[in-house]
Amino acid sequence: MKKIFLPVLFAALTATSVSAQKYEYVDVPNTPEAAAHNKGSLDLNHVRFGAYFAPTITWMHPTASTSDDGRYHVTSKGSKVGYCWGLVAEYYFAPNYGISTGFNIDQEGGKIVTGYTAAVDPSRPNTVLNTSFDYRLQFLEIPFALKLRSDELGKNGIRVFGQIGLTAAINISKKASYSVDYTDQTGNERNVSADNQILKGALSVPPILLQLNVGAGIEYPITEKMYFYTGLFFNNGFLPDATNPENYTLGYKGSFTDANTRLNNFALRVGLFF
């Protein structure tokens, strides 16, 4: 993925730096002639582009302590440190109100542990007993948010901003380190484990997740054309489940569920608008 997206990032930054103009919101006269002239067109004075990098903290959160069928107890076992980077495009339809979009490449994950809640019955072979999955997932994210910002504060031109919207996250990599205890066809207990392996099985991780994204931060002008910005952003996954363990094909028979796991992250962005 780096061989694909790093050239895209370089090309986009080159294009924006070559064509960059001083960003400012320009009010258009409210006349029939002006409305006819601008109908169906996008005023580039209201558009700006940027890039950012962000360290992240991600975790996986089961929505209940037991699976839907009541057979497994489910626990989240901590967070993971990751990172993301992306390009941003903003369009301002009023001086302090705009729409923000772009794309991000995000490294995410977390650890989920499950345990069989009933007594082991030797007459029931192919039963998953205990599992531990340490997920390492990668997503291409496309956010769409409403952004609000303040007027310039003081002589330095600092602005405060906040935004809220939705993110579509497309899975591009799914790996995990795992350990699974289970009973085989004869009822004997077995274990299968692996480190940093691709998750096998159709739809073992959904191809698309939907997330609520919120963020807040500050912008600081460096030059007439360039702005530094930083902020704290939160993605809260809500649809669908982040993992589908009943679809795993990892060398054991039987299946288990993990109580509708969601994927969340905090990101501290540092970036530039051009």
Domains of the chain from N-terminus onward: 2-273 (2.40.160.20)
10-residue averages of pLDDT along the chain (274 residues): 42 40 47 47 79 97 89 92 96 94 96 88 82 96 97 92 98 96 90 95 94 97 93 95 93 89 96 94
Q: Which residues contact 127 (CB under 8 A, 6 or more apart)?
A: 116, 120, 121, 182, 183, 254
What whole-number distance in Å separates Cα of residue 178 and Cα of residue 40? Answer: 53
- pTM of the model as a whole: 0.81
